[in-house]
């Protein structure tokens, strides 16, 4: 068939999970080809300082770290292609993937590492200061706001957990909740209510993140009932309203949980389809760290290598 290519190992996605899978797959001589997706390097390319990844004693910039990952994967033999997977067919082997609605790739093994995207409020000022006081990960960036006043928006378990995490580091944490109650579990709400330096502001919406052009210095919020506006003096603004796993293209082929994350067989990266593996934030809604994504990328490559070796023995 014209415009069809067959591969031994296809990796979809180019964050820490995808690159780590590529490094291991290349060293195992699986001749991996990576399709980057629309955001080569993934979420870390929107992060400035990264201080919690082992091996960088002075910290590094997110985009630079992803560039290091890319160079290592390429040096070991990974072919990296810019493109976007538009549809898949896992009903027969070899599994089939369509890239950019035009090119057909069949593969003996597929590693999905398409990640998850943080949900944002959609404010222009939020985009302007993203990485310069605005963050979607308190565990990643809270350290930079030690002793400062910050705000976090959200009402679920993640927001409650991140607010209490920030409270240990920061002088004051304003928690902006849109409704008059939390969506979080009772235990998490109890933890927030019993943290003295968290101030909860109910029935409030974020209108604008304010700054001096370089960094954040305030946030304008509005009471939904009274329309009264208020400005909070803060240096950090955290968005904790959830993540969306990038799995729409796989929804008819793989088992997903209620939030859209790919379900893997516990203790492995195997999906319900033999020869298809999932690694990183696309299947992990609990930890969501670069180092855990990288670890599961390694697991996926090892799982794929064992699967291909067994398939070869049978053949």
Structure tokens at 181: 């109650």
* Strand (E) or helix (H) holding 275: none
Cβ atoms of 51 and 143 within 8 Å: the answer is yes
Closest CA relative to residue 4, chosen from 129, 113, 98, 127: 98
- Annotated active-site residue 141? The verdict is yes
> Is there a contact between 113 and 17 (Cβ–Cβ < 8 Å)?
yes
Give the Cα separation of 231 and 209 in Å (integer): 10
Which residue is catalytic, options 141, 281, 284, 303?
141
Annotated catalytic residue within 68, 100, 108, 137:
137
CA 170 – CA 274 distance, rounded (Å): 47
Decide the pairing of beta strands 229-232 and 216-223.
antiparallel
* Active-site hit among 9, 108, 140, 281: 140
Residues ≥6 apart with Cβ < 8 Å to 214: 132
Q: How far is the C-alpha of 36 from the C-alpha of 33, rounded, in Å? A: 10
Contact 117, 283 (CB under 8 A): no
d(CA 35, CA 54): 26
Q: Is 102 exposed, middle or buried (0-12, 13-18, 19+ CB in 10 A)?
A: exposed
9 catalytically annotated: no
User: Residue 277: enclosing H or E segment and its boundaries?
Assistant: strand 276-278
Q: Are 41 and 48 in contact (CB under 8 A)?
A: no
- At 24 the three-state DSSP class reads helix
Q: Are 297 and 21 in contact (CB under 8 A)?
A: yes
Catalytic sites, residue numbers: 137, 140-141
């Amino acid at each position: 068939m014209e415009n069809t290519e067959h591969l031994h190992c296809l990796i979809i996605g180019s964050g820490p999970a995808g690159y780590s899978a590529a490094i291991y797959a290349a060293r195992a001589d699986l001749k991996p080809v990576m399709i980057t997706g629309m955001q080569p390097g993934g979420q870390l390319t929107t992060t400035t300082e990264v201080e919690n990844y082992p091996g960088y004693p002075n910290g590094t910039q997110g985009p630079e770290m992803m560039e290091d990952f890319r160079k290592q994967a390429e040096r070991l033999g990974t072919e990296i292609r810019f493109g976007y997977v538009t549809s898949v067919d896992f009903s027969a082997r070899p599994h089939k993937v369509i890239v950019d609605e035009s090119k057909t790739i069949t593969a003996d093994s597929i590693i999905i590492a398409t990640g998850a995207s943080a949900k944002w409020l959609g404010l222009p000022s939020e985009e302007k200061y993203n990485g310069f006081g605005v963050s979607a990960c308190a565990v990643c960036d809270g350290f930079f706001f030690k002793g400062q006043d910050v705000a976090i928006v959200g009402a679920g378990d993640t927001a409650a957990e991140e607010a209490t995490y920030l409270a240990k580091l920061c002088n004051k944490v304003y928690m902006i909740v849109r409704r008059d109650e939390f969506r979080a579990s009772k235990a998490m709400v109890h933890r927030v209510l019993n943290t003295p330096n968290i101030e909860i502001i109910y029935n409030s919406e974020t209108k604008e993140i304010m700054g001096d052009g370089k960094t954040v210095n305030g946030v304008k919020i509005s009471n939904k009932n009274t329309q009264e506006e208020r400005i909070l003096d803060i240096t950090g603004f955290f968005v904790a309203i959830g993540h969306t796993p990038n799995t729409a293209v796989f929804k008819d082929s793989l088992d997903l949980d209620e939030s859209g994350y790919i379900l893997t067989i516990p203790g492995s990266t195997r999906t319900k389809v033999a020869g298809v593996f999932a690694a990183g934030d696309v299947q992990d809604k609990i930890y969501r760290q670069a180092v855990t994504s990288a670890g599961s990328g390694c697991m996926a490559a090892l799982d794929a290598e064992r699967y291909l070796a067994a398939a070869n023995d049978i053949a």
